């Protein structure tokens, strides 16, 4: 198994934050705190985009290393 790259670790951390933010949004909406729930939904969306960004960046880095023979 190849060593884990920083991009892969960052994408996993962002994915964990996304899941936790989504759970926090559900809790906030159940408790009736709509404004706080909306903030958590926005945080989940941001962290989801960050996760996809780092996954894509890791794939591009691996493809570039493979082409360059590194």
Domain boundaries, the chain: 8-68
Q: Which two tokens stand for residue 41?
A: 């939904």
- pLDDT tens digits for range 13-65: 999 999 999 999 999 999 999 999 999 999 999 999 999 999 999 888 888 88
What's the pTM value of the predicted model, to 2 decimals?
A: 0.82
Contact assessment for residue 52 and residue 8, using Cβ atoms and an 8 Å cutoff? no
Q: How far apart are the first and last CA of the chain?
A: 16
Q: Which helix (H) or strand (E) holds 64?
A: helix 34-68
**With 70 as the cut, is the pLDDT of residue 70 above it?**
no
Q: Strands, E, within the chain: which ranges? A: none
């Amino acid at each position: 198994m190849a060593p884990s790259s920083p991009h892969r670790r960052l994408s996993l951390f962002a994915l964990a934050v996304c899941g936790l933010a989504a759970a926090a949004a559900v809790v906030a909406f159940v408790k009736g705190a709509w404004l706080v729930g909306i903030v958590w939904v926005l945080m989940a969306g941001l962290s989801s985009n960050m996760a996809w960004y780092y996954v894509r960046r890791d794939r591009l880095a691996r493809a570039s290393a493979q082409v360059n023979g590194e």
